[in-house]
Structure 1
Amino acid sequence: MLEAARLMRRFGEKVAVDDVSFVVPDGTLTGFVGGNGAGKTTTMRMIMGVLGIHGGEVRWNGHTVTAADRRRFGYMPEERGLYPKQPVLDQLIYLARLRGMSTRAAFEGAMELLDRFELGGRRKDKLESLSLGNQQRVQIAAALISDPVALVLDEPFSGLDPVAVDTMAALLKEHAAQGIPILFSSHQLDLVERLCDRLIILADGRVVAQGSAEELTRSGTPRYRLVVDHEPVWLREFAGVRVIEIDGTTAIFELLDETTDELLIQALAEGSIRELAPVRSSVSDIYREAVA
């Protein structure tokens, strides 16, 4: 289990990460989401020891993380950190050897990953000759090649085409199924919703919400869909309701109190009700509410 406990980081007078705590349980995919400057990359760098910690600590399996622990983590930084003028296969083998793998195991592992990403035919090419999307695939392979015990991935899906996204998603699910805790950041909220067991939402350097999508949805403001036989413009003036959207005869709204009787009476007074039903919030909805 990977844990951040009250992490803090300053840059001069600015507090970039402020009392951030969360757990990435074994065998879970945990999505780390937030706007630009929210503190995601800084937090990941502290977890990996790339940046110093000004407060709090990182824990691995209940103890303060050590350099030896971190050497067993797979890490993908926001900026690509590979060698542009080296052949793809050579540098994957080199990086795997640095992690203690034999040359044969490193070769076999590198070829398996390159084949999964449809790059086996480009294994002798220099990294700089690949497209940015294919360079991203190689960067991901570098994070996965040494059989890591935990994965910390900063925007791993950025620049990937849909086929590569599916391949990457399958790889992450395979690692999670082996009990590996996985933390990854992404701006693609629909992808986070599809993949993740848990979410951590950051804003202004602080955790503003965390939990499963279901837990976060239950803790949010109830949201409903109303379908009538005319445009329900009256709903905008109705007390206890915040209208999200009115599209023709359909309205999506939040109910700010628990009483629906008066709303139903008003709706019936305006005409027929075709539907009044709760709406499941998306991760995007949860995110917008958490950072508002």
Structure 2
Amino acid sequence: MRADSASGDQRLTDYCVEARGLTKYFDEFKAVDHVDLEVPVGSIYGVLGPNGAGKTTSLRMTLGIIDPDEGTSRLFGSHKPQSVRHRIGYLPEERGLYPGMKAREAIAFMGALRGLDWGEGRRRAATFMAELGLERVIDEKIRKMSKGMAQMVQLIGSIVHAPDLIVLDEPFSGLDPVNQERLETLVRRERDRGATILFSTHVMAHAERLCDRLAIIARSQRRFEGTVDEARALLPMQVRYAPRTGADDGVIAALLPADAQRRGDAWHFAIDDAGVEPLLARITASGHGVAGLSIARPGLHDAFVHIVRQVDAGFAADAAEEAAAEASA
């Protein structure tokens, strides 16, 4: 299925979403602190962060569901999100369907709320359900479905009108591995037809497989923006080296970085890009040979943990400094 025509709207920039300085207070608590988001047209963009980091609030301000206390947001070049709502599909964090409706009708109903013809909505519902292997439950009432199956129905309902922008808030939460794979397939399919996908998650594996770009939010601020590879490059490469000969540990350790640790029959250590070739030269010249050698960049999970821990450490240091200043006052 192709996206509905939007020829009357000329995209004014290369970004589907542009948010600048989004800030939101709930009483005295600053839930979001000057967050910027730029989502390229036609991309899959992830907003990552721990629980409570401000992801959902940021998405809702971006969509105009709640107003920011500071900052601005543009969708398709417009400062009025409601004027382009027919071009948006949104799956909120809080799921909700009418339990007495059958799956096909629930999907058609959600499409009708975005201006899609009822009959066309039912036809597209059948197509989506068949493509995802869910045709057996198309006429089953929502109340009889598992939580994960109902969630897939709501997801299809969020995109059945073929929106240009699809915003998914924690879409993988509560899904079993089979439905997670179905969702990933659906996200890629929608991107391939030309849609822009913006989703939030705290599960790194999905973001690593799907995202063209991503932002990491921690303690209410954006702490990173870039590609998955750029995030992984924040950490040095990890090396596992097993010598071929039974040389003394001290001899082997002298060839390796100071932080190298032996675990089992292999040595493990971190090394930057510039150190790889000199390391291989030293190992080769030593005559101890190589029984096993692997060099790998840490995954997105490791980069995410690294960024969040740095933020938490800085926050703790600032809190300790403030406490000390108050105590001495």
**Which TM class, normalised by the smaller chain length?**
0.7 to 0.9
Residue 207 of structure 2 is aligned to residue 192 of structure 1: yes
**CA, structure 1 residues 239+55, in 2 after alignment: closer, same or farther (shift >3 Å)?**
farther
Post-superposition offset of 1:277:
5.9
Which residue does 1:23 correspond to in 2? 38
| Greater mean deviation of Cα atoms: 204-213 or 264-273 | 264-273
Alignment partner, residue 291 of structure 1: 308
TM-score for both structures, normalised by structure 2: 0.76
Which residue number corresponds to residue 263 of structure 2? 247
Shift of 1:276: 6.2
User: Shift of the alpha carbon at 1:126?
Assistant: 2.2
2:171 is equivalent to residue 168 of structure 1: no
Distance 1:70 1:233 in 2: 66
Alignment RMSD (CA, Å): 3.2
SS at structure 1 position matched to 2:175? coil
Indicate how the Cα distance of structure 1 residues 208 and 269 shifts in structure 2: closer, same or farther if over 3 A, else same: same
User: Does the Cα contact within 8 Å between 1:240 and 1:257 map onto a contact in 2?
Assistant: no
Report the alpha carbon displacement of residue 142 of structure 1 after superposing the two structures with TM: 1.3
Paired residue secondary structure (2:100)? coil
Closer, same or farther: CA 101–255 of 1 in aligned 2, 3 Å: same
What is the CA-CA distance between 1:271 and the residue it aligns to? Answer: 8.7
Q: Which amino acid aligns with 1:182?
A: I
Q: Is the 8 A contact 2:98 2:142 kept in 1?
A: yes
**Structure 2: which amino acid aligns with 1:290?**
I
CA contact (8 A) 1:31 1:186 kept: yes
CA contact (8 A) 2:238 2:298 kept: no
Deviations 1:165-221 (A, max 9, x none): 232222211221222211112233122211111121111111111211122233x13
Give yes or no for the alignment of 1:225 onto 2:239: yes
1:117–1:164 Cα contact (<8 Å) kept: no
Structure 2: which 5+ residue stretches go unaligned? Answer: 1-15, 310-329
**TM-superposed deviation, 1:242:** 5.5
* Distance in structure 1 (CA, Å) of the matches to 2:273 and 2:183: 42
Give the aligned partner of residue 68 of structure 1: 83
**Contact (CA 8 Å) 2:239, 2:271: kept in 1 or not?**
no
1:178 to 193, 198, 205: 193
Q: Answer yes or no: is the 8 Å Cα contact 2:235–2:298 preserved in 1.
A: no
2:238 partner letter: Y
Check the 8 A contact 1:224/1:276 in 2, yes or no. Answer: no
Give me the whole-angstrom Cα distance separating, in 2, the residues matched to 1:125 and 1:27: 34
* Residue type of the alignment partner of 1:91: A
SS at match of 2:190: helix
Cα 1:179/1:251, change in 2 over 3 Å: farther
**Partner letter of residue 282 of structure 1?**
G
Kept in 2: contact 1:240–1:256 (CA 8 A) = no
Matching residue's letter, 1:67: Q
Q: Which moved more, 1:150-159 or 1:80-89?
A: 80-89
Deviation string for 1:25-49 (max 9, x for gaps)? 1111112211111111111122222
Identity %: 32
Structure 1 residue identity aligned to 2:111: A
1:281 to 279, 290, 298: 298
TM-score by length of 1: 0.85
After superposition, residues 42-81 of structure 1 pair within 5 angstroms as 42-81=57-96
User: How far is the alpha carbon of 1:269 from its aligned partner?
Assistant: 11
Return the letter of the residue paired with 1:247: R
- Residue 267 of structure 1 deviates from its aligned partner by 7.6
Aligned-residue offset at 1:263? 7.4
1:236–1:242 contact (8 Å) kept in structure 2: no
The CA distance in 2 between the partners of 1:276 and 1:262, in whole Å, is 15
- Render the CA deviation track for 1:111-158: whole Å, top value 9, x for unaligned: 112223333332333212100110111111111111111011012122
1:32 lines up with 2:47 in the alignment:
yes
The structural deviation recorded for 1:21 is 0.8
Residue pair 1:116, 1:167 contacting (<8 A) in 2 also: no
Question: 5+ residue gaps in structure 1?
Answer: none
